[in-house]
Structure 1
Amino acid sequence: MTQKTVAITGASNGMGFEATKLFAKRGWKVYAGARRVDKIPQDGEKIRAIKLDVTDSDSNKAFVKQILDEAGHIDVLINNAGYGEYGPAEEIPMDKIRKQFETNFFGAVELTQLILPTMRAQNYGRIVNISSIGGDVYMPLGAYYHATKAALQQWSDVLDLEVAQFGIRSVCVQPGGTQSSWGNIALENSKKNMSENSAYQPLVNSVASGLDRFMKNSAKASDLAEVFYKAATELNPSLRYLHAFGDKFMVNVARKHPKIFRKALLITMRYFEKHNH
Structure 2
Amino acid sequence: MTTTKTALVTGASSGIGEAAALKLHAAGYTVYAAARRTDRLRTLADRGIRPLGMDVTDDDSMRAGVDRIIADTGRIDVLVNNAGYGSYGAVEDVPLSEARYQFEVNVFGAMRLAQLALPHMRAQHSGAIINVTSMGGKIHTPLGGWYHGTKFALEALSDCLRMEAKPFGIDVVVIEPGGIKTEWGAIAADALRKASSDGAYVKQADAVADSLTSEANAKRLSSPQVIADAIVKATTVRRPKTRYATGFGARPMMTLRRILPDRAFDAFISRATGLPRN
Q: TM-score normalised by the shorter chain: which range applies?
A: over 0.9
Q: Percent of aligned pairs with the same residue?
A: 41
Q: CA offsets, 1:125-175, max 9 Å, x none?
A: 100000000001111111010000000010000000011000001110000
Cα pair distance change 1:123/1:90, threshold 3 Å: same
Match for residue 51 of structure 2 among 49, 52, 55: 49
Cα pair distance change 1:150/1:258, threshold 3 Å: farther
Check whether the contact 2:193–2:209 (CA below 8 A) recurs between aligned residues. Answer: no
Q: Does structure 1 residue 184 correspond to structure 2 residue 186?
A: yes
Q: Corresponding residue for 1:114?
A: 116
How far apart are residue 243 of structure 1 and its match? 1.3
Match for residue 270 of structure 2 among 260, 266, 270: 266
Cα pair distance change 1:58/1:243, threshold 3 Å: same
How far apart are residue 273 of structure 1 and its match? 4.5
Check whether the contact 1:7–1:31 (CA below 8 A) recurs between aligned residues. Answer: yes
Q: Corresponding residue for 1:162?
A: 164
Comparing 18-27 with 143-152, greater Cα deviation is found at 18-27
Q: Corresponding residue for 1:123?
A: 125
Q: CA offsets, 1:67-125, max 9 Å, x none?
A: 00001001100000000011111010011000000000000010000010000000001
How far apart are residue 216 of structure 1 and its match? 4.0
Tell me the TM-score normalised to structure 2 length.
Answer: 0.93
How far apart are residue 244 of structure 1 and its match? 3.9
Q: Corresponding residue for 1:247?
A: 250
Tell me the TM-score normalised to structure 1 length.
Answer: 0.93
**Partner SS state of residue 79, structure 2:** strand
Q: Does structure 1 residue 228 correspond to structure 2 residue 225?
A: no
List alignment gaps of at least 5 residues for structure 2. Answer: none
How far apart are residue 223 of structure 1 and its match? 2.0
How far apart are residue 194 of structure 1 and its match? 2.5
| One-letter amino acid matched to 1:232 | T
| One-letter amino acid matched to 1:231 | A
**Partner SS state of residue 178, structure 1:** coil
Q: Corresponding residue for 2:240?
A: 237
Q: Corresponding residue for 2:90?
A: 88
Q: CA offsets, 1:26-67, max 9 Å, x none?
A: 221001100111112334583110111000000000110000
Comparing 32-41 with 155-164, greater Cα deviation is found at 32-41
**Partner SS state of residue 67, structure 1:** helix
List alignment gaps of at least 5 residues for structure 1. Answer: none
Comparing 33-42 with 149-158, greater Cα deviation is found at 33-42
Check whether the contact 1:183–1:215 (CA below 8 A) recurs between aligned residues. Answer: no
Trace 1:139-150 onto structure 2 (pairs within 5 A): 139-150=141-152
**Partner SS state of residue 44, structure 2:** coil
Q: Corresponding residue for 2:177?
A: 175
The number of residues matched between the two structures is 272
Supply the distance in 2 between the matched residues of 1:225 and 1:112 (Cα, whole angstroms): 20
**Partner SS state of residue 177, structure 1:** coil
Check whether the contact 2:222–2:248 (CA below 8 A) recurs between aligned residues. Answer: no
